[in-house]
Amino acid sequence: MSILLNDDTRVIVQGITGKIGRVQTKWMLEYGTKIVGGVTPGKGGNTVEGLPVFNYVDDAVKETGANASVFFVPAAFVLDAFLETIDAGIDFIVIVPEHIPVHDVIKMRDYADEKGVTVMGPTTPGILVPGKGKMGIMPASLFAPGRVGIISRSGTLSYEFAGILSEKKIGQSTVVGMGADPVVLCNLPRILAMFENDPDTDAVIMVGEVGGEQEEKAAEFISVHMKKPVASYIAGRFSPQGKKMGHAGAIVRGSAGTYEGKTRALREAGVTVLESPIHVHAWAEKYKLR
Amino acid sequence: MRLHEYEGMDIFEAFGIPVPNREVARTVDEVLKIAEKTGYPAILKSQVLVGGRGLAGGIRTAETPAECRTTAKALFETDIKGLPVQEIMVCKKAAIEREFYLGITIDGYSGKPVVVASIEGGVHIEKTAGTSPDKIASFKIDPKFGFYPYQALALLRRAGFPAKPLTACADILVRLYKIFQQYEAMIVEINPLAVLADGSLAAVDAVLEIDDSALFRVKKNLSLSPEGRIGNRLERKGKEIGVTYVDLDGDIGLISSGAGLGMASMDIIGHGMKPANFLETGGGITADLLYKCMDLILMKPLRAIFINIYGGINPIHEGAKGIVRYIQEHGVTLPIVAKALGNHQEETWEILKSGGIHVVTEAATEKAVDRLAALLNTFSPMGRP
């Protein structure tokens, strides 16, 4: 098994008739994903890659038995489509688009939390289970089946880590992009808990970056709840400090958000902090990961 | 996108928050004319979009018209952190008895707006947060419920606000939340909220930063267009072509896909060399976009170029075509190292090699940086596992 995406996952693609939606649907199918249909308002009755297209999410759920959805919907329309999708009973959603207004994301997060729906993104490459299936845009060639879980805030860095491991014949159980926006729809500890409980995952790589307090909260969770080895890389050590716009964030967070604050919290929680991505290989060798 | 202080003040005023009488001048004569109206001692505040402009000398006081003329002239001839002063906001210097802090921002982890208040506002507010946390209180807003005066009052009482201006401060805080919502702000802040000699309140500074992704909805409510606000010429150009560009002072041009990979590339390059920029392409790589990216990073002198991209949304060989076309059309002879992986990667490598680019096919960025260092005869401590 894997986390989030498994043999029972029946996926619809929202925005399936767009240029990106079409290409990505083809690639997800080629990778073995169980895609059962798509939704584009006004394009109901058409087909894409032989799959039925619906106008409404509730119709798609009724006709196909879908229980998961991946979004290729234009940013300005995501909020409305998202609420519709939750109301239609879908309980796992991947939001690929970037540039969704953060005040929309606040509303999405609130509703998802209230309804107990699990959502990755926004601005995520999605989720991939090597050799089994994927929801989103991760390029299949970089991944190999195995027993290391990867969770990353940055999309392309999740590829980088999977790529380094795959070259050394160390495979991955599930690769998860949690999304790169200031507000994401699922925080790190929840995903770490899934990996801790997954019998097919032996160890976890957590790829973070400076800013926010996801990694600090993850460190708290790991120190109390995790037995599996965790390694972490934090990007942005030498990045220029983001332009400072005001004080409120700094006042609330204190030292949280800095490279030093994050790596200190992680080390104290027993996490192996990787100074550079390539060091992940030595870490994997140490724990004899495959 | 951050607004100018005077734009923020206009919005505050429209929402019923007390602000000083002020006007914006573009010439020395205008400064004098406004100061005549608002009164002396006058405060001259440079309207440049950088933080810490006070400490950089961008805010001055003038006691007399003669001093005002000299000061205004000096300010218009000054650069504040590299930005020329083109506008000065003029108002009368207030007799401030006490300074509070009020701000609203987004708490990323909980996904909720968070209100922050302190009875010790002013330039040292962040230090206060560390040394006297009891003088600061914060409150997370339930976005569906909204934010009501009783909640504002409870927060301000917790922060130790005195009984006298308590209700007026709560009123301002509730109005601030309306601005936060309507302008889809990342942050809205009054620092300081001044208590004046007569006991009245005035927001003597205004910080308002709007979510870039929401500008398509918000810009109709703005008096100035979003274009042309970014100071740096190259950063403005980046925005035009739809990429994130941050100008740096090194000499290695960098193109990367994804902010995380871009930051990691900078971290690895930074061990022995210095990046000239940060450029993040975003998800949709096309031939045209990468052609423009090459054009952008080559707007300043470089020693070499480092390209680190993954194809996700689009097949990556399209991007490679754009890079090679640029090299051939412009006769670029700089050393270029590229790591490009993803859909159609083999085809991509062939295209890149045809442009004379050194292609690294391994996944680790360190290996590609090692290649770059070897080409430049620079020592690089990274990449040896």
Tens of pLDDT, residue by residue over B289-328, are 999 999 999 999 999 999 999 987 777 899 999 999 999 9
| pLDDT for residue B385 | 33
Q: CA torsion, points A143, A147, A153, A159, in degrees to nearest 10? A: -20
Ranges of each domain in chain B: 21-92, 96-221, 233-375
Query: Who contacts B218 (Cβ-Cβ below 8 Å, separation ≥6)?
Result: B183, B184, B210, B211
Phi, psi of B140 (to 5 degrees): -90, 130
Q: Using an 8 Å CB-CB cutoff, list chain A residues near B101.
A: 247
Phi, psi of B137 (to 5 degrees): -135, 150
What does the alpha-carbon distance between residue A127 and residue A150 come to, in Å, rounded to a whole number? Answer: 10
Q: Where are the beta strands (DSSP E) in chain B?
A: 22-25, 42-46, 59-62, 79-80, 83-84, 88-92, 96-107, 112-118, 136-140, 185-196, 201-203, 207-210, 244-247, 252-256, 277-280, 304-311, 336-342, 358-360
The average pLDDT across A93-117 equals 97
A183 lies within 8 A of chain B by CB: yes
- Show which of residues 184-213 on chain A sit within 8 Å of chain B, judged by CB atoms: 184-185, 187, 207, 209-210, 212-213
When scoring B263, B277, B307, B362 by the number of chain A Cβ atoms within 10 A, the one with the most, hence best to mutate, is B263
Neighbours of A283 (CB within 10 A): 18
Higher pLDDT, B363 or B284: B363
Give the chain B residue nearest A20 (alpha carbons).
B313
Query: Who contacts A143 (Cβ-Cβ below 8 Å, separation ≥6)?
Result: A128, A130, A162, A166, A171, A172, A175
The CATH code that applies to domain B96-221 is: 3.30.470.20
Handedness of CA B148, B154, B159, B162 (dihedral sign): positive
Neighbours of B22 (CB within 10 A): 19
Contact status, residue A126 vs residue A70, Cβ threshold 8 Å: yes
| pLDDT for residue B52 | 74
Instruction: Name the CATH superfamily, with its identifier, for domain B21-92.
Output: ATP-grasp fold, A domain (3.30.1490.20)
**Residue B29 distance to chain A (closest CA, Å):** 31
The CATH code that applies to domain B233-375 is: 3.40.50.261
Distances (CA, A) of A222 to A173, B150, B198: 19, 38, 55
**ipTM, 2 decimals?**
0.93
Is the pLDDT assigned to residue B365 strictly greater than 80? yes
Tens of pLDDT, residue by residue over A124-146, are 999 999 999 999 999 999 999 99
Contact status, residue B3 vs residue B179, Cβ threshold 8 Å: no
End-to-end CA distance of chain A: 16
Q: Where are the beta strands (DSSP E) in B197-325?
A: 201-203, 207-210, 244-247, 252-256, 277-280, 304-311
Extract the tokens encoding B282. 């975003």
Looking at domain A11-120, does it have CATH number 3.90.930.12?
no
| pLDDT for residue B344 | 87
Phi, psi of A275 (to 5 degrees): -70, -30
> Helices H, strands E: what count in chain A?
10, 14
CATH 3.40.50.720 intervals, chain A: 11-120
Is residue A225 annotated as a catalytic residue, yes or no?
Answer: no
What does the alpha-carbon distance between residue B206 and residue B13 come to, in Å, rounded to a whole number? Answer: 11
**Residue B69 distance to chain A (closest CA, Å):** 31
Query: Who contacts A251 (Cβ-Cβ below 8 Å, separation ≥6)?
Result: B103, B116, B118, B125, B126, B129, B136, B138
The CATH code that applies to domain A126-286 is: 3.40.50.261
Q: Using an 8 Å CB-CB cutoff, list chain A residues near B216.
A: 76
Q: Flag the least confident range among A46-55, A116-125, B222-231, B343-352.
A: B222-231
What does the alpha-carbon distance between residue A58 and residue A88 come to, in Å, rounded to a whole number? Answer: 5
> What number of residues does chain B have?
385
CATH 3.40.50.261 intervals, chain A: 126-286
Q: Which of B192, B135, B132 is nearest to B162 (CA)?
A: B135
Look at phi and psi of residue B377 and say left if phi exceeds 0, alpha if psi is from -120 to 50, else beta: left
What does the alpha-carbon distance between residue B102 and residue B193 come to, in Å, rounded to a whole number? Answer: 7
Tens of pLDDT, residue by residue over A147-179, are 999 999 999 999 999 999 999 999 999 999 999
Q: Which of A19, A42, A29 is nearest to B284 (CA)?
A: A19
- One fold for B21-92 and B96-221: no
The average pLDDT across B134-155 equals 95
A74 lies within 8 A of chain B by CB: no
Tens of pLDDT, residue by residue over A218-272, are 999 999 999 999 999 999 888 765 544 457 666 666 666 889 999 999 999 999 9
Pick B341's closest partner by Cβ from A27, A106, A142: A142
Amino acid at B372: L
A152 lies within 8 A of chain B by CB: yes
Extract the tokens encoding A76. 């300005």
Given pLDDT bands bounded at 50, 70 and 90, which one contains residue B140?
Answer: very high
Query: Who contacts B207 (Cβ-Cβ below 8 Å, separation ≥6)?
Result: A245, A246, B2, B5, B8, B103, B187, B188, B189, B190, B191
